[in-house]
Structure 1
Amino acid sequence: MTITGSTVDHHATTLAPIPPQQAEPAPAAARPRFQHQGIAFGCDYNPEQWDPAVWREDVALMREAGVDLVAINIFGWAALQGPDGAFDFSALDEVVDLLHEAGIRINLGTGTSSPPPWLTTRHPEILPVVEDGTTRFPGGRQAWCPSSPVFRRAALELVDGVAERYGRHPAVALWHVSNELGCHNALCHCDESTRAFRRWLRARYGTIAELNRAWGTSFWSQRYADWDEILTPKLTLSSRNPGQVLDFHRFSSEQLLDHYRAEAAVIRRRSDLPITTNFMVTAHIRNLDYWSWAPDMDVIANDHYLDHRLGEPRTELAFAADLTRGLAGGEPWLLMEHSTGSVNWQPVNLAKEPGQLLRNSLAHVARGADGVCFFQWRASLQGSEKFHSALVPHAGTDSALWREVVELGRIVGALDEVAGTRVQADVALLFSWESWWASDAETRPTHAIEYLDQVHALYGALHDLGVSVDVVRPGADLSGYRLVVVPGLYLVGDEDAAALDAAVASGTHVLVTFYSGIVDEHDRVRPGGYPGAWRDLLGIRVEEFTPVLPGTPLVLESGAAASLWAERVEATDAAVLDRFADGPAAGRPAVTRRAGSAGAGDAWYLATLLERDDLLDLVGRVVEGAGAASAPAAGADVEITRRTAEGRAYTFVVNHGADAVEVDVRGTELVTGTVADGPFAVPAGAVRVIREEDAE
């Protein structure tokens, strides 16, 4: 069936601007909720890559594997609409009907993630420009500028066509806007982006004088006299203005959020189903501030892939899952994509060992995911991702991987009763994308340490101690937490800093690490000594940073080993628990604690990057002093977490190690259907989920 009636002049060279979608998101209680029976088990499906004769086989195999949620039309634009603007939904209709007949629910993509070649050929002005001023061309994906009104109009026409066609179809359970927004095209420097950036700055600052103050443009004779003088921060001969770069990150994140809102607004005119897009909460994607995006999502969804370029990819998986749960406000969330095996985009794409697929999948469920989905259903035979793993590998169903997939589907089904429960934690870790942008600037005290180094190190210590952690934004409500950990939070505004002060005053303990509280929201240094925002809270004053060269060891008087960072600390109202024994800060405090009084919590400060075992020891002392809960049998290779709801509780044990581990829990084990009575053995490489007896 073909539907005509295009409203876009595809031969036009200019189009009127699209009004920004700046309306406040609906309150959480008023938004439609994603309804799914049990834990979803699903995948991306790209039927346009396959002959229609394969589709029926695919649907039959999906039923065999237990797949009950399928994302389609993610990259469907070129298949749905041609250069004449006419829509042809005949193939997508057939796929939708096949899935519906099989009882498989649909996560329907809008299809706008990558424009078809006819659009970029007729409108090359939509192509993104990178910081060196050169254009990036079609042939990959996301070849579009987030500020382009031409792209926006064409995309919204497609969204309206898809939403009109399927907005009331009973198989559709969830709308999927675009795909991994900003993965490649977040930072565009084209002329349209430059104009949009100026409009954004005018709205933010009001006057040129206020912008000059915020950016500190008196430095290097950068003072602006007119808005038209302002450019995006393209490459310069020297380092760039940090305030300008920071604001460009903010602007770019908001531009893509505005695009999401525009697509969502079109869908809502045609459908009352929940809408989301897939976040990329992972170590190598940093251009979107998901704290500002989360309120617009009807359900939080995330894509996550193990990154073997990291030292501890398993721990990073746990951190990403906890951060995604934080974005969801503690509510269950959806793992939209992960992999059955290797990915296609790392220098060395490692396959997963037997059992790792189950462990990785249930580690996400243990930390709040109510859905386990994969990219993709059937491994592609062509294209850039042809060596990306899938539920159905190139080897087909006569393979160990397919048998693992079927077993995983069975186990996910056995965990359906866990859906809707929440992870409980009494430790919070503050995390900020804005601080990440500002901290990892071109000019900083040392390039040997990045923001995530501290975040991952402190989170890793808590993880290895078996402590459940909520990852929350600066300024979040911290009441109810026994301990708050603040790793390297370089940038913090006054109100967000005060929220931590208030929490400590009410009895919460805190551990702050070096390079925190240094600048305000404009990347302006807080004078008077570091850490400016929390000198009084911590009872210290840092006179000078004294980083050391990589490979230079640092030793504390206790014998603890450190590296890369030291500073000249003065204890003004804190007890000194350890000092630098050598290096440029020899004799100065390295670990301090300001004891709480009159009901206040203790405030700890760490002035260096401790080696792993010594950091584990320090964090263990802080956790114990705060009275925070930890799982005794947990460790670097054993993850133990708990999900609860009124009257029921589930203990997840994910054993990555080579030896069995015993946990003291009683109830029914859901993976094997056995009884757990007292010390319960979890074999090496296994996962066990116990429905506890007499749960509180």
Structure 2
Amino acid sequence: MATDDTTYRWVKDGALGPGRMRYGADYNPEQWPREVWDEDVRLMREAGVNIVSLGIFSWALLEPRPGEWDFGWLDEVIDLLHANGIDVDLATATASPPPWLAKRHPEILPQTIDGTTLWPGSRQHWRPTSPVFREYALRLTRALAERYADHPALVAWHISNELGCHNLYDFSDDAARAFRVWLQERYTTLDALNEAWGTAFWSQHYEEWDEILPPRAAPTQRNPGQQLDFERFSSDAVRDHLRAENAVLAEVTPGIPRTTNFMVAQNVRDIDYPSWVGDVDFVSNDHYLRPGELGRDDLSFWSNLTGNIAGGRPWFLMEHAPSAVNWRAVNPPKRPGELVRDALTHVGHGADAVCYFQWRQSRAGGERYHSGMVPHAGADSRVFRDVVDLGSQLRDLAPVTGSRRERARVALVFDYESWWVSGRDSHPAESPAYDDETLLWYRALLDLGVRVDVVPVAADLADYEVVVAPMLHVVPAALRERLTAFVAGGGHLVTTYFSGVVDENDRVWLGGYPGALRDLLGITIEEFVPMLPGETASLASGTVVRDWSERIARVEPDVEVLDFYAGGDLDGAPAITRRRSAHDSGGSATYVSAAIGRPGAADVMRRLAGDIPALAADALAADGDVDVIVRRHEGGRYVFLANRTDDEVVVAAAGDLLAGAAERGSADAVMIAPRGVAVLAQEG
């Protein structure tokens, strides 16, 4: 963290401590005539909006020609917002450079893997490693900071926007030079790099640093170690830009906190967000709901992970959609109740601010069919009525702000590098996907009524009783030792197929799979048995297997076989195993060698629950119909009960009903509407 939280104007206003829940949106007044601005602030006050992110894509208007500034319109907007009690999270406006910059300096434009230049006309058309772009971006950042440093409306800085969303992978000569510097810092010598990448294969041995290029388009498979390091480098390159803008703001406005909006669940999967936490003063995230029945659990999963990336501290939901988005193949609107449900689920997982993209739905441009808090239909619309209703509920939830997420007894590990590497080309099969598999196990735990924390792989696991680590593909020696110590200390590990296979350089651990975890699990797998589309297999328990199975060739004498393959080439072979710790701690390590689906995962956890109390169902979960989320404060806790169904659910629960689509049926019963959330305050 850059500065102690207590010095921030943000905290003095109560946003990241007890006070009021922040509510608002990206606001783009430059898209509208001046007379619309007055209507905007009137409607903002009606909705309870108290903060907006401003200036995100306004570089071309702020600096219409090189070195010529036009702040007049922005001055007027900020003054208008402040006069109406609305604070500003001011963007550095560097997300998309103006046309004149690309015209003068085409060398800032990124290049794709095949050398195609990405031209202006969209957004984020800049190279993260371009020194020319960096110079102009920091000049703009400094100009904004100096002008608005003392404006009372300014409560936070919004650095760039969705860094790396469209330009994370740049294969230009600038990127090549920066990549070599990054590699020299990582490996020091070419001998170390050649060993890590296995360059003896296909005559890739390097004798000079300048022989190394980004993994550009090639005749066939590219070097896996090179690809992994380029992914790491690209994440660090965008992070370096974040740090550069951050340094300017810290110099000019040290008392204003700084953030940038992560995209933990979206298409920027190759950014290692847990490593960025130290570069922002509070975590912010953007989340967009997946349509359909899967969406509500998907939202819970990613906001759960965001809260744990934030270390349990309150965080800022910078963007989500009031209704439909515009960038999927089909973009259905949110169903009745979903706008409030989605927002309150984020709040349950630690968000002290709920904001949307965007305030007023655009009339022109590439996102004109993306919903806004004020839709094309205007204020007399279902969306805006829901917006006003949510604002009222967030005001009622002011006491929740500043409280911390209560730790669960079960953790589900999410590892960005396993996500990257397990989906690489030239693997035994292209499916299942890592993110789908981790979400599947999360949903299985919710089905059983088990509360679970989704944690980054580097998180401290010592306080958890159960750790579930699906498809933990990349396991360096240090992680192997951590997991071994966890089990020896009495913890229960559950991991699955394609885990422990490679080290931190994407080199296969030898001696048989699951590689790094073989000794801990007490099994040896000689080969993977992926399945063709449409093929299935069965386990003795009746569980159906699709996509993936494995041949467990050897099992140590102290390993219990929980389930077998039934029929087919693997008939009678072990499928699910459990090894209890040789120590007296009572720990265990369970391995699932097949893609057994959500029902199969639930069955495994149900069977383990027989002697693992942490896997017992929470009574508030109503047999898995309710997602139970808890925030704790000194005097008690706030319990968020999110209905996972399209039917009303009745839960026996004590406490004061603070907000949500719910009502008391009796003194001890809460009736939660379909797709609704009940928020209870409980003492103790």
TM-score above 0.5: yes
Residue of structure 2 aligned with 1:401, choices 383, 386, 397: 383
CA change 1:316–1:683 in 2 (3 A) is closer
- 1:232-243 alignment, distance < 5 Å: 232-243=214-225
Amino acid at match of 1:642: V
Residue of structure 2 aligned with 1:197, choices 158, 170, 179: 179
Distance of 2:549 and 2:539 partners within structure 1: 11
Matched residue, 1:3: none
Unmatched runs of 5 consecutive residues or more in structure 1: 1-24
* Post-superposition CA distance 1:188-238 (Å, at most 9, x none): 001111111111111111111111001000001110111111110011111
Conservation of the 8 A alpha-carbon contact between 2:501 and 2:509: yes
Distance of 2:625 and 2:663 partners within structure 1: 23
**Deviation for aligned residue 1:679:** 2.6
Matched residue, 1:19: none
CA change 1:26–1:402 in 2 (3 A) is closer
* Post-superposition CA distance 1:96-119 (Å, at most 9, x none): 111111111111100000000000
Distance of 1:475 and 1:307 partners within structure 2: 27
Conservation of the 8 A alpha-carbon contact between 1:28 and 1:295: no
Matched residue, 1:266: 248
- Three-state SS of the structure 1 residue aligned to 2:215 is coil
- Three-state SS of the structure 2 residue aligned to 1:371 is strand
Conservation of the 8 A alpha-carbon contact between 2:2 and 2:280: no
Matched residue, 1:437: 420
- Three-state SS of the structure 1 residue aligned to 2:611 is helix
Distance of 1:180 and 1:246 partners within structure 2: 22
Which deviates further from its counterpart, 57-66 or 628-637? 628-637
Matched residue, 2:565: 580
1:659 is aligned to 2:647: yes
Conservation of the 8 A alpha-carbon contact between 1:511 and 1:622: no
**Deviation for aligned residue 1:624:** 5.0
Conservation of the 8 A alpha-carbon contact between 1:31 and 1:298: no
- Three-state SS of the structure 2 residue aligned to 1:88 is coil
Conservation of the 8 A alpha-carbon contact between 2:523 and 2:555: yes
Distance of 1:461 and 1:28 partners within structure 2: 40
**Deviation for aligned residue 1:464:** 2.2
**Deviation for aligned residue 1:441:** 0.9
Residue of structure 1 aligned with 2:356, choices 374, 378, 384: 374
**Deviation for aligned residue 1:533:** 1.4
Conservation of the 8 A alpha-carbon contact between 1:546 and 1:567: yes
Matched residue, 1:528: 511
**Deviation for aligned residue 1:466:** 2.6
Which deviates further from its counterpart, 160-169 or 416-425? 416-425
Distance of 1:602 and 1:663 partners within structure 2: 34
**Deviation for aligned residue 1:508:** 1.2
CA change 1:82–1:510 in 2 (3 A) is same
Matched residue, 1:604: 590
Residue of structure 2 aligned with 1:144, choices 110, 118, 126: 126
CA change 1:583–1:566 in 2 (3 A) is farther
- Three-state SS of the structure 2 residue aligned to 1:103 is coil
Matched residue, 2:194: 212
Distance of 1:457 and 1:252 partners within structure 2: 29
Matched residue, 1:16: none
Matched residue, 2:441: 458
* Post-superposition CA distance 1:356-404 (Å, at most 9, x none): 1111111111111111100000000000000000100000011111111
Conservation of the 8 A alpha-carbon contact between 1:464 and 1:634: no
Residue of structure 2 aligned with 1:515, choices 478, 490, 498: 498
Conservation of the 8 A alpha-carbon contact between 1:475 and 1:497: no
Distance of 2:55 and 2:403 partners within structure 1: 31
Distance of 2:6 and 2:175 partners within structure 1: 34
Distance of 1:142 and 1:443 partners within structure 2: 31
1:306 is aligned to 2:292: no
Matched residue, 2:482: 499
Amino acid at match of 2:515: G
RMSD (Å) for aligned C-alpha atoms: 1.8
Matched residue, 1:595: 580
Q: Percent identity?
A: 48
CA change 1:170–1:630 in 2 (3 A) is farther
Amino acid at match of 2:617: S
Conservation of the 8 A alpha-carbon contact between 1:475 and 1:495: no
- Three-state SS of the structure 2 residue aligned to 1:386 is coil
Amino acid at match of 1:137: W
Matched residue, 2:548: 565
Distance of 1:579 and 1:439 partners within structure 2: 25
CA change 1:504–1:315 in 2 (3 A) is same
Residue of structure 2 aligned with 1:183, choices 165, 168, 171: 165
CA change 1:636–1:390 in 2 (3 A) is farther
**Deviation for aligned residue 1:240:** 0.5
**Deviation for aligned residue 1:178:** 0.2
**Deviation for aligned residue 1:564:** 1.2
Which deviates further from its counterpart, 32-41 or 297-306? 32-41
Which deviates further from its counterpart, 564-573 or 177-186? 564-573
Matched residue, 1:618: 604
Amino acid at match of 2:274: W
CA change 1:29–1:168 in 2 (3 A) is closer
Residue of structure 2 aligned with 1:39, choices 21, 35, 41: 21
Conservation of the 8 A alpha-carbon contact between 1:145 and 1:151: yes
Distance of 1:30 and 1:64 partners within structure 2: 31
Conservation of the 8 A alpha-carbon contact between 1:634 and 1:640: no
**Deviation for aligned residue 1:26:** 4.6
Distance of 2:168 and 2:458 partners within structure 1: 26
* Post-superposition CA distance 1:314-336 (Å, at most 9, x none): 21111110110111011111110
Distance of 2:107 and 2:446 partners within structure 1: 48
Which deviates further from its counterpart, 280-289 or 72-81? 280-289
Conservation of the 8 A alpha-carbon contact between 2:262 and 2:284: yes
Conservation of the 8 A alpha-carbon contact between 1:540 and 1:571: yes
Distance of 2:576 and 2:431 partners within structure 1: 21
1:135 is aligned to 2:117: yes
Distance of 1:32 and 1:503 partners within structure 2: 39
- Three-state SS of the structure 1 residue aligned to 2:520 is helix
Matched residue, 1:428: 411
Distance of 1:574 and 1:460 partners within structure 2: 28
1:631 is aligned to 2:618: yes
Conservation of the 8 A alpha-carbon contact between 1:659 and 1:683: yes
Conservation of the 8 A alpha-carbon contact between 1:575 and 1:593: yes
Distance of 1:48 and 1:397 partners within structure 2: 20
**Deviation for aligned residue 1:34:** 4.4
1:469 is aligned to 2:459: no
Distance of 1:601 and 1:636 partners within structure 2: 26
**Deviation for aligned residue 1:65:** 0.2
- Three-state SS of the structure 2 residue aligned to 1:684 is coil
Conservation of the 8 A alpha-carbon contact between 2:411 and 2:454: yes
- Three-state SS of the structure 1 residue aligned to 2:659 is coil
Distance of 1:136 and 1:620 partners within structure 2: 51
**Deviation for aligned residue 1:534:** 1.3
1:289 is aligned to 2:268: no
**Deviation for aligned residue 1:32:** 5.1
* Post-superposition CA distance 1:672-694 (Å, at most 9, x none): 797662132223333211112xx
Distance of 1:169 and 1:464 partners within structure 2: 50
CA change 1:27–1:79 in 2 (3 A) is closer
Unmatched runs of 5 consecutive residues or more in structure 2: none
Distance of 2:72 and 2:484 partners within structure 1: 60
TM-score computed with the length of structure 1 as normaliser? 0.93
Distance of 2:624 and 2:536 partners within structure 1: 25
Amino acid at match of 2:601: L
Distance of 1:288 and 1:564 partners within structure 2: 28
Aligned residue pairs, count: 669
Conservation of the 8 A alpha-carbon contact between 1:283 and 1:316: no
